[in-house]
Structure 1
Amino acid sequence: MARVVVVGAGMGGMAAAARLAVAGHEVVVHERTGTYGGAVRRYARDGFAFDTGPGLLQLPAVYRDLFVKTGRERLEDEVELVQVPVTARHVFTDGSAVALPNASRGKVIAALDEALGGGAGERWSAMLTRARTAWEATRRPLLEEPLRAEPASRDLLVADGAYPALRPKGLLRLSRALRGRGSAGPTLAEVARDELRDPRLAAMLCGSVWTQGLDPATAPASAAALAYVEDTFGTWYVRGGLRALADALHARCRARGVAFRFDSPVAGVREKDGRAAGVELADGSAVDAEVVVAGGGPAAPGGQGTADRGMSRLTVLLALRGTRPAGTPHRTLVHRAEAPGQPLTVLRPDDPALRPDDAHETAVLTLPVPGGLPAEAAEPLAEGLLAATDAAGLGLRERVLWREVRTPADVEAETGAPGGRVPPPGLSGGGGAFLYPANPTGLPGLYAAGGWSHPGGGLPAAGMTGAMVAGLVQDPEWRGSV
């Protein structure tokens, strides 16, 4: 079996490391910072604790599979997964609001009809039904198989045809939009406007991709599949915060014999006889290996030219006086008149592990922002986000005990991504512009894992990319999960 060096202890790198160790390889992870998890971090102060990266989980089956394949203990034996009752409460600029029940299409339709008027639920449901076609057509080549240059797979992922394939079932306006735009295909914002015919429904659809770091004005129509996935498979929370998932994955790696070297930045990949032969560390020492897995993002050795993709995020952590009001949803999306389709996310987990006592509460405000946002812009923007929560009637400002503002510079320090950019999900369509580089690189023996490689960003994709790399190391002709 091979000696393997994994560069970066992010979720994708650790997912690859655990699987490779189980396969019998000798695996060492070199991480430039002092801890694991990549963007999945925690900030703690005065008895309060906050997730500073993702706060909710979709498609937990990815991590269930990872834990089943790497040990006897199931994921649920290591962390407590809770399906939140409300996917999100949307507060619109006209004062209306709607809470969407989690993973229940019928209840969602009823809630939308009651809040936004008769017919709103059916229009939303019809849109998601059409989005299901994009999901079903592209799920396997986009998420479960290595990215290959074979015409059938590539054409399906690159062309904009996956979504409008349902034109016979009523996408007449979309057909006209396609003709008007030529081969480029419609954007998600155009589809939302033309098909949903209600600015609030359009804001919901656009917001589902905006919160994942994609601009609905440029994202292809196939991005509607992201809303379909959330609606169909549900949204989950990990007790103690998402950092507990990183803790569990790190523990699984250690149990399988993976060694970790923290504060050990890698300066480059060593080559010998035309293939990867290990890494050179920043201190000038060398580590020999037959396989190198670059999981540290576009700035890491082996990064493949995706450093300018995606946005970063501004996060405001709020320590609040007073008990969390009964019935408060875990997630609220505050839609803003000055930025249609670009809502502010407010997370308010009901988790005693994150607060000093029941007389206090935590809240996290998150907004995608350009990578490299100047530090002097952070505080005024944070103040504006608090004002948006006031306008939405959330009543947070008067309860603030203290707040911590985290900027793209903080994200860059933790992940190494230039400008603190966060990789968004990979998408089909758009002429292939929303795909990520394949996991095998141009150098034999060097593979890319993590959100900056196929299949892209997000916690589920991080777990999937680990499976991709492990499968390809074992067999270069590996065709993907069954």
Structure 2
Amino acid sequence: MARIAVIGAGMGAMATAARLAVAGHRVVVYERGATHGGGVGRFERDGFSFDTGPGLLQLPAVYRDLFVKTGKETLERSVELIQVDPAARHLFPDGTEVLLPNASHGGVSQALDGAFGAGAGERWSDLVNRAREVWDATRRPLLEEPLRSDWQVLGRDPYPAAAMRRWFGGRRPATLAEVARRELDDPRAVALLESHALAHGLDPRSAPAAATVLAYMEQTFGTWYVRGGMRALADALYERCCQRRVEFRFDAAVTGITEKDGRAAGLELADGTAVEADAVVAAVDPALLPPLLGGRRPWDDGDVAPELGPGSGVPGRLTVHLGLRGARPEGTAHRSVVHAPDRDAELAGVFGDGRGTRRPCRRPTVTVLRPDDPTVCPDADHEAVTLTAVVAPHGPVDWAHPEGVEDDADGLMEAAKLVIPDLADRVLWREIRTPVDTAAATGARGGAVPAPALAGAGGRLLHPANLTRLPGLYLAGGWAHPGGGLAHAGMSGALVAGLIVEGEDFRGSQ
């Protein structure tokens, strides 16, 4: 039985801990905050309850596998998992609306024909079919296997016909935005495709064509909600860890990772406690590791490594939680996406305008979540609503400026009125959360939210490997391979547990 010390109590950390505990190891989790879940938090006020992180789940099979392999209670017996249908209602600046059914390729095609005109569904289906080839080519190396030592092969874009011809001869990799314009034609369909990338904090102007796989995954595997919110999933995973005798130490900030005989050998805590361990799993931003290692970088030149410095440049989220008077209307879509009227201004505000300037867009793309869940409201005569937009992280934009934050929240409210026309009359109160709040809750630099790993773009969208160059030190969570998102964090736990239990020859989860 090995002693495993885990830094952080997020979803990737707990997924790793549960699997290692089942394998017979003694696992202790050290969390600087007062609770588990990491970015999967909860805000409560006046009988209302809101997720402060992701509000929906994709690829639930990841957590089904985790719960099956760590105990007797399945995922469905641990939480109430609900398939969201329709998957989303999209509202475009020209007044067009489209309801997309959940996990139905044919249904989506029919919906797009009805909203955008004959032929739109076929063009979309053709693109999604090509995206399936991306999924088939990258599912194992990106999601189910440790990052390869020859990771450079993943820098090539697997999207069919991804190359674009230059004006003066030659070819270059296409971006998602270029593929969207070339293959979809209709600007509303282009915005629909690009919104899948933007929702993950990816710039469609520079994201590879392989980012089409994000639309394929949602359309193929569906979108799910957990009764009580995603925090209920975090609670269930925490309970599973406790059942497997994983120990948690909260308010236990780690100030150092100790080494012995060239291996990670334990932790130093802020209160002076020294912890001995046979292996250390760091489920935090890898850029935070050098200070914990006395300046040492646990990767070599040529490895996938994080961008060091005060901020990663990765976008964050601006969120407005609304307590509303009045019942949720029958037939209301769980998720509505109100597309920005000026996409160029939005992308410049989130990712920069090429001159290093980022200014929040007054009317960004806004996701409106209205769960049909009585457990998140004080009673049937009230409704809990969450508005979210992807924004620049703290640093390039000052999210600590109260007046500016209020103005930006007003912009989200303005967009939400297209979904809830009587919004102004129904609001009891609103609670605003910015990247500054995310940074305080999760420790993420600038309040950034990691994106999932993608092939293409020369490997720029890969994440550091789970196995580091310091023996005994492993990386888990959204900032490590295979990247951000609930499902990907769960996958990181399977990969790290496999590397520790089976050794460095571990070839991936089955």
Question: What is the identity, as a one-letter code, of the residue corresponding to 1:346?
Answer: V
Q: Displacement, 1:481?
A: 1.2
Q: Displacement, 1:175?
A: 4.4
**Residue number in structure 2 paired with 1:170:** none
Describe the superposition over 1:18-63 as per-residue Cα deviations: whole angstroms up to 9, x where unpaired: 0011111110000000000000001000011001100000000000
| Secondary structure at the counterpart of residue 301 of structure 1 | helix
Which of 316, 327, 341 is the aligned partner of 2:320?
316
**Residue number in structure 2 paired with 1:432:** 459
Question: What is the identity, as a one-letter code, of the residue corresponding to 2:251?
Answer: D
Question: What is the identity, as a one-letter code, of the residue corresponding to 1:110?
Answer: Q
1:396 to 1:312, Cα distance in 2 relative to 1, 3 A: same
**Residue number in structure 2 paired with 1:470:** 497
List aligned pairs for 1:6-405, cutoff 5 A: 6-150=6-150, 154-160=151-157, 162-164=158-160, 167=161, 175-177=163-165, 184-298=172-286, 300-301=288-289, 305-306=306-307, 308-339=312-343, 343-372=365-394, 373-374=397-398, 375-376=400-401, 377-391=404-418, 394-405=421-432
**Residue number in structure 2 paired with 1:421:** 448
Question: What is the identity, as a one-letter code, of the residue corresponding to 1:36?
Answer: H
| Secondary structure at the counterpart of residue 339 of structure 2 | strand
| Secondary structure at the counterpart of residue 54 of structure 1 | coil
Q: Greater CA deviation, 342-351 or 305-314?
A: 305-314
Identity of aligned residues (%): 59
Q: Displacement, 1:391?
A: 4.5
Q: Displacement, 1:343?
A: 2.1
Contact 1:51 1:241 in 2 (8 A): yes
Does residue 479 (structure 1) correspond to residue 504 (structure 2)? The answer is: no
Q: Displacement, 1:184?
A: 4.8
Gaps (5+ residues) in structure 2?
291-297, 299-304, 348-363
Contact 2:5 2:266 in 1 (8 A): yes
Question: What is the identity, as a one-letter code, of the residue corresponding to 2:11?
Answer: M
How far apart, CA to CA, are the structure 2 residues paired with 1:466 and 1:71?
16
Contact 2:31 2:250 in 1 (8 A): yes
How far apart, CA to CA, are the structure 2 residues paired with 1:258 and 1:71?
13
Q: Displacement, 1:121?
A: 0.8
Gaps (5+ residues) in structure 1?
168-173
Describe the superposition over 1:434-453 as per-residue Cα deviations: whole angstroms up to 9, x where unpaired: 00000111210000100000
| Secondary structure at the counterpart of residue 289 of structure 2 | coil
How far apart, CA to CA, are the structure 2 residues paired with 1:181 and 1:2?
58
| Secondary structure at the counterpart of residue 333 of structure 1 | strand
Contact 1:33 1:263 in 2 (8 A): yes
Contact 2:109 2:120 in 1 (8 A): yes
Instruction: Tell me the number of residue pairs that the alignment of Structure 1 and Structure 2 aligns.
Output: 470
Q: Displacement, 1:297?
A: 2.3
Describe the superposition over 1:353-410 as per-residue Cα deviations: whole angstroms up to 9, x where unpaired: 0001111101101111111042223211100111122255643232111000001111
How far apart, CA to CA, are the structure 1 residues paired with 2:168 and 2:33?
50
Contact 1:299 1:418 in 2 (8 A): no
1:11 to 1:469, Cα distance in 2 relative to 1, 3 A: same
How far apart, CA to CA, are the structure 2 residues paired with 1:446 and 1:113?
52
Q: TM-score, normalised by structure 1?
A: 0.94
